[in-house]
Structures are given as structure tokens and as C-alpha cells.
């Protein structure tokens, strides 16, 4: 099939008894790398499960090249690679055996499979432990084998639910390099709540909040939206407490008895500051009113 086909999500709704996990979600994906960004419980995994056809919508459609993906059935599943958030591998298998098993399931011809296994193990930096049992792997290594099985069939559509969770900084960089190459001829959708991961990997963004799509667009264009509205200032502790109530404060550092802050929105007369160059995090905070807790800033500065 051609690689310029669109994957369209149309008016998708999903309810779990009383809970409306997704409400009228619509967007279109084309070739490229999309970050699905949203706080815990926003509906990212629910959406991805349906895009991978492992769960069904309550209402709405998902189409690939104009065809309903649930009607395409096996034809669609052979085109996708999916790694669920709670990915667990068969513990008794070695890395190689596990990938062989997944490769056979996905219908990769035996003549190709051995080479492909070595290739994906190399991709995710697990060649050296190819013959080790998966149960002896660390959390990050298990994630990487999860990524390996998702790409083994060279999918046209790659859906990865929190692929970078548990990866160390070195592996994060490695992962973003692998994925950057893939975006040239695939639709790649990856979820995260870490803004810096999106900046490093994705060029397009789908922002979800409370089961709805807040915005979609090119990362740079979205960031440009908050240009001129990002400020940096040094304020007193008291000033800081006041500022927090009135602006989205993103970023702070103690400076003796004062606090260095970064905030988004209108200029604030009591915090005399200077304009700063906006980042994706500034946009995200501005768009969603999401505070420090979810902005990724804490994760980056935890040490």
C-alpha cells in the first residue's frame, strides 16, 4: 500500500460505564511523527488501543486510506506496530526467541526473519543480550524489547504508548534517533506526558485533555502562538505565591530568599521581567492550564 495514506479519527467516543474516556475526538494523521500529549487520565491509551483495533469505540470511526480499520481487520493489523503502555513480555523467552515468536505471529517470512531480528535488536541496543531471558531484563530493557517487537514487521503505522517511560537519557536519545528516521515513510504516533520528549522526537502534536482534543498542529507553529507572552522574573517568596494564583508559572529556581520564575500570559506588573523565547512547555502550560506537576520540568530537574 502507498505510504501517503491518511489515518483519520472521526468523532470518536468511548465510554466505560459512566466514564466518558473520549468525547468526539477527531484528527488526521499523515506521514510523520506525532506526539500525543496529555496528562494522566486524558485518554491517550484509550485512543491508542482503538487505533490499534484492540478495543472498540462506542461511537465514531477510524479510517485508513478511506477504509474503516475495523472492517480491514487482518489487512490493517499487518500494517501496524503497537506497543501498549502496560507492555509485558513472556518472561521465559530469550530476547531473540520472543522476537521470533512475534515475527511469526506477524507473518514475516522465515527467510527474512533472522536478519530482521538482528537488525531490530541492534536498533534498540539489545544485541548483546539477545540470548538472555527477558525476565532478567531491567524495566528500560523490557521497554526496548517492546519497541523492537512493534517495529519488527516494518509497519506503515507505528503506535507507541509511552515508549520512553523508564528509558535513561542515553537510551532516550537513541530512541529519538531511531524514530526520526521512521517518520519519513510512516505514520508514527507516540504518547507521553513529558514535554521534552516531544521536543526531541515529534514534529507534530495532538494535545488531549479530559477526553477531548485540545489542539493539533506542527510543534513549531504551536510554540509560535505564545511568542511575546513568556516572561522571566525574579520575585520575592510572597510575590511568588501571588503570581502563582494569577499566571501559569512554569519554572522556578530558588535564588537566596527570592525565586526565579518563568510564566506565561499577560505581562505582570508586580513581577518585572523580561520576555523569553517560548518553548513547547510554555505553549502546553498556556494551552492546557497545566501546572508544574505535569510539565516535565520536575522530571528533568529531579537529580
Ligand X SMILES: Nc1ncnc2c1ncn2[C@@H]1O[C@H](COP(=O)(O)OP(=O)(O)OP(=O)(O)O)[C@@H](O)[C@H]1O
State the minimum distance, in angstroms, from the CB of residue 210 to ligand X: 9
State the minimum distance, in angstroms, from the CB of residue 184 to ligand X: 27
State the minimum distance, in angstroms, from the CB of residue 32 to ligand X: 21
Is residue 229 near Mg ion by the rule CB under 5 A?
no
Size of the site for Mg ion (CB under 5 A): 3
- Nearest of 54, 53, 58 to residue 22 by alpha carbon: 58
Among 45, 192, 279, 295, binds Mg ion (CB under 5 A): 45
Q: Kindly list the residues in this chain that would bind ligand X in the complex (CB under 6 A).
A: 16, 19, 21, 38, 40-46, 85, 193
42 binds, among ligand X, Mg ion, none (CB under 5 to 8 A by kind): ligand X
Contact set for Mg ion, span 59-88 (CB under 5 A):
85
16 binds, among Mg ion, ligand X, none (CB under 5 to 8 A by kind): ligand X
Q: Which is nearer to Mg ion, 36 or 243 (CB)?
A: 36
Is residue 295 near Mg ion by the rule CB under 5 A?
no
State the minimum distance, in angstroms, from the CB of residue 52 to ligand X: 13
Q: Which is nearer to ligand X, 120 or 280 (CB)?
A: 280
Q: Which is nearer to Mg ion, 44 or 63 (CB)?
A: 44
State the minimum distance, in angstroms, from the CB of residue 39 to ligand X: 7
State the minimum distance, in angstroms, from the CB of residue 38 to Mg ion: 9
Task: Give me the residue whose beta carbon is nearest to Mg ion.
Answer: 45
Amino acid at each position: 500500500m502507498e505510504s501517503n495514506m491518511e489515518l483519520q479519527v472521526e468523532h470518536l467516543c468511548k465510554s466505560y460505564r459512566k466514564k466518558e474516556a473520549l468525547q468526539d475526538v477527531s484528527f488526521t494523521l499523515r506521514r510523520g511523527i506525532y506526539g500525543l500529549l496529555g496528562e494522566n487520565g486524558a485518554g491517550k491509551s484509550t485512543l491508542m488501543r482503538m487505533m490499534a483495533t484492540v478495543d472498540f469505540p462506542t461511537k465514531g470511526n477510524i479510517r485508513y486510506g478511506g477504509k474503516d480499520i475495523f472492517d480491514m481487520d487482518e489487512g490493517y493489523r499487518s500494517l501496524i506496530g503497537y506497543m501498549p503502555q502496560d507492555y509485558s513480555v513472556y518472561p521465559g523467552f530469550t530476547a531473540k526467541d520472543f522476537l521470533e515468536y512475534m515475527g511469526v505471529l506477524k507473518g514475516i517470512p522465515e527467510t527474512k526473519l533472522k536478519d530482521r531480528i538482528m537488525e531490530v535488536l541492534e536498533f534498540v541496543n539489545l544485541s548483546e543480550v539477545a540470548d538472555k531471558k527477558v525476565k532478567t531484563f531491567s524495566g528500560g530493557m523490557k521497554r526496548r524489547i517492546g519497541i523492537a517487537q512493534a517495529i519488527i514487521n516494518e509497519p506503515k503505522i507505528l503506535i507507541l504508548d509511552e515508549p520512553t517511560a523508564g528509558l535513561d537519557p542515553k537510551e532516550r536519545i537513541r530512541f529519538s534517533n531511531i524514530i526520526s528516521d521512521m517518520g519519513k515513510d510512516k505514520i508514527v504516533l507516540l504518547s507521553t506526558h513529558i514535554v521534552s520528549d516531544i521536543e526531541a522526537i515529534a514534529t507534530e502534536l495532538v494535545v488531549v485533555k479530559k477526553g477531548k482534543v485540545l489542539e493539533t498542529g506542527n510543534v513549531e507553529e504551536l510554540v509560535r502562538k505564545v511568542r511575546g507572552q513568556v516572561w522571566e522574573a525574579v520575585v520575592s517568596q510572597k510575590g511568588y505565591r501571588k503570581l502563582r494564583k494569577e499566571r501559569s508559572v512554569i519554572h522556578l529556581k530558588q535564588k537566596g530568599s527570592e525565586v526565579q520564575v518563568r510564566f506565561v500570559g499577560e505581562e505582570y506588573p508586580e513581577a518585572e521581567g523580561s520576555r523569553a523565547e517560548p518553548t513547547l512547555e510554555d505553549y502546553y502550560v498556556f494551552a492546557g492550564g497545566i501546572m508544574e506537576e505535569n510539565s516535565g520540568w520536575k522530571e528533568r530537574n529531579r537529580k
